[in-house]
Structure 1
């Protein structure tokens, strides 16, 4: 029976947009995911992402056996917090450009929230007022290619985002027109950024599971001290891949290869224990 990789996506990027990465893992692993975090009314977005962790745990628990938790950005942090709360549900965690925060990082986040500056510390400020409706797929493609965030995307990953990151604009249809809009609710995306955790459900140093942080070489999210934090964990490690914060979309096959290598090594270590 193949091991389960439960994938958790980055904020604003539905899981199906990672199809090329998933396909590269699926010959050896069963890849499961939640289509969109934060959109289930049973688990509303709240400060410190506690309900989002509840949501993830709800779905991980349903797998009926421990999983390898792999997550990008938001998703990596959710898996870490879920594993800290329920380690028996996990075999290990891989965080793709997700920062392993220090106490100083958390203090800065708490202060930014209290001072009303969290939009400057997170991408929330850049998300406000962002275009969310498009006349058609071609205009959406042109728009995204003009943005720095998307400019280095693997072509297949960009097409996957156009396939799954957009949906029919029902409001335009009701007026007798047509068009597309973002599938990930922009208000939800902003609330997720604004509620970034300044607390942890436990001490990562007490986690006996293997944990790997993989940072993009040009990332401005995972910084050198986050790598040092990872290496200080009992079974922690830190790796870099070419690219920025979006490296799982920029180099999906290279990302999948490193994830496979880590999981194979951890499988062997688990058999030897």
Structure 2
């Protein structure tokens, strides 16, 4: 469904109801990584009985379409999150009386941080798997995102979804994705166009998201997030970046899964759901 919104450019993000919860229970808003869409979270949400789960498509992804040439400022992703939360409240699609938590991966995690920093109290807690945020560069250091150029060369179209699925299951990193996650990505990540299907998130747009990441203020925004945060990481980076990010939040702890990659929510939805369940149980004593 499309919910009413008032973010930058009057964008109305598409929000998908993944699982129905109980009255008064927790409402969870899931936010995806760059290049994906909200419904890749469905296999995880199904493993979280009792929650009312919704996932949005950030602008330029899934069913939230943006015009050619848009430069994707990251603050606008935070606007999408706030618009989705507001839209759920106005439409009655959420449970209404229960707390709202944010669950995000990479860019989606960063968007949740930006939203909560812009409007404190929106979320009762945030569960973030490797949010896309980086400490400020050292003096003289030039930052770059190595994904910018390869993404421009991503194959944008296939004869049909079956061919797309065959292609992805034979190539890294998607060959490691959980089959249900990959099937959801292909089913809802392409649009029919004549005699072929085309990625809804266009490669040039995805590349621009990575370009814009270099000037995003996610790191500074973390200090403004007062709700409890669980920062979840996969394999440790040599710089210990996630430890630094954890200390930037006023109220956060770090959970490590050293056998998972950055794509953990897409490769191991059952493990991710287990982490979220335990986190929600602990959060329940604080909200």
TM-score normalised by the shorter chain: which range applies? 0.7 to 0.9
CA drift of 1:146 comes to 2.8
Name the CA distance, whole Å, in 1 between partners of 2:112 and 2:260.
23
Aligned residue pairs, count = 250
- 1:17 aligns with 40
Distance change (3 Å), C-alpha of 1:41 and 1:229: closer
Is residue 234 of structure 2 the alignment partner of residue 216 of structure 1? Answer: yes
Give runs of aligned pairs for residues 115-264 of structure 1, distance below 5 A.
Answer: 118=144, 121-168=145-192, 170=193, 173=194, 178-196=195-213, 198-200=215-217, 202-217=220-235, 224-231=240-247, 233-241=249-257, 242-264=259-281
Shift of 1:208: 2.1
Asked if the contact 2:39/2:184 (under 8 Å) is kept, the reply is yes
Q: Secondary structure at the match of 2:272?
A: helix
Which of 63, 69, 74 is equivalent to 2:88?
Answer: 63
Structure with the larger RCO, 1 or 2 (CA within 8 Å, 6+ apart): 1
Unaligned runs of 5+ in 2: 1-23, 90-95
TM-aligned CA distance change 1:99 to 1:187, over 3 Å = closer
For residue 28 of structure 2, give the secondary structure of its aligned residue in structure 1.
Answer: strand
Q: Larger deviation: 244-253 or 159-168?
A: 159-168
CA shift, 1:190, in A, is 1.4
TM-score normalised by the chain length of structure 2 = 0.77
Tell me, which stretches of 5 or more residues in structure 1 are unaligned? 113-117
Q: TM-score, normalised by structure 1?
A: 0.81
The answer to whether the 8 A contact 2:78-2:113 is kept is no
In the superposition, relative to structure 1, how do residues 265 and 100 fare at CA in structure 2: closer, same or farther (>3 Å)? farther
Note closer, same or farther for the CA distance 1:51–1:22 as it changes in structure 2 (3 Å cut).
same
Give the 3 Å change call, closer, same or farther, for CA 107–234 of structure 1 in structure 2: farther
Alpha-carbon distance change, 105 to 99 in structure 1, aligned in 2, over 3 angstroms: farther
Q: Aligned-pair RMSD on alpha carbons?
A: 2.6
| 8 A contact 1:100–1:226 mirrored in 2 | no
Structure 1 match to 2:28: 5
Report Cα offsets for 1:115-150 as digits up to 9, x if no partner: xxx4xx241211112111112333212221232121
